[in-house]
Amino acid sequence: MRAFRLDSDMTTMRGTFYPTGWTVLMFPGEQQARDAARLLAREGFAADAMMFLTPADVREHLLDATGDDHLVPSAGTEGDTVRKFAELAAQGHHGLMVHTPHQAEADRVMALLKDAPISYGQRYRKLVIEDVVS
């Protein structure tokens, strides 16, 4: 698992956080997120296909990526989703991002983590944000 890094391909043209092909999972604490990553690694997910998000990462990189320019409201739920991540991060939740470009990978992640204490989860597909845990 690597540290979180916000790349330009993880945002829309308006700067909204939208990491297409990734599943973003929030956990109540650091240990739960790290345990989930270890489980996925044991089951064959590559270390570079997972990123660890600290509460500081969310505050530093995602809070400004809601897509709200205070002139035109966001047409979708992207901003609300980022605000939910920020709300959880403020409570100490940590995140795990898993690269899941295909449905089979996303389904496998959720099956492997079915007993994990995921507090919130979203899968970003082209034009669709899918609730995996709400």
Q: What is the pLDDT of residues 58-95, one digit of tens each?
A: 988 887 655 555 444 445 567 778 889 999 999 999 99
Q: Do 77 and 31 form a contact (C-beta atoms < 8 A)?
A: no
Contact 24, 122 (CB under 8 A): yes
Judge contact between 51 and 1, C-beta under 8 A: yes
- Other CB atoms within a 10 A radius of the CB of residue 44 amount to 9
pTM: 0.87
Name 79's bridge partners: none
Residues 92-125 pLDDT 10s: 999 999 999 999 999 999 999 999 999 999 999 9
For 36-56, what is each residue's pLDDT tens digit?
999 999 999 999 999 999 999
Structural tokens at position 20 = 């297409």
Q: What is the pLDDT of residue 70?
A: 47
Nearby residues of 117 by Cβ (< 8 Å), 6 or more positions away:
27, 28, 32
Give 64-131 as a DSSP string.
T-S---SSS--SSSHHHHHHHHHHHHHTT-EEEEEE--SHHHHHHHHHHTTTS--SEEEEEETTEEEE
Q: Is 93 exposed, middle or buried (0-12, 13-18, 19+ CB in 10 A)?
A: buried
Q: 26 vs 60, which has greater pLDDT?
A: 26
- Give me the pLDDT at residue 72, please: 46
pLDDT given for residue 65 in this prediction? 52
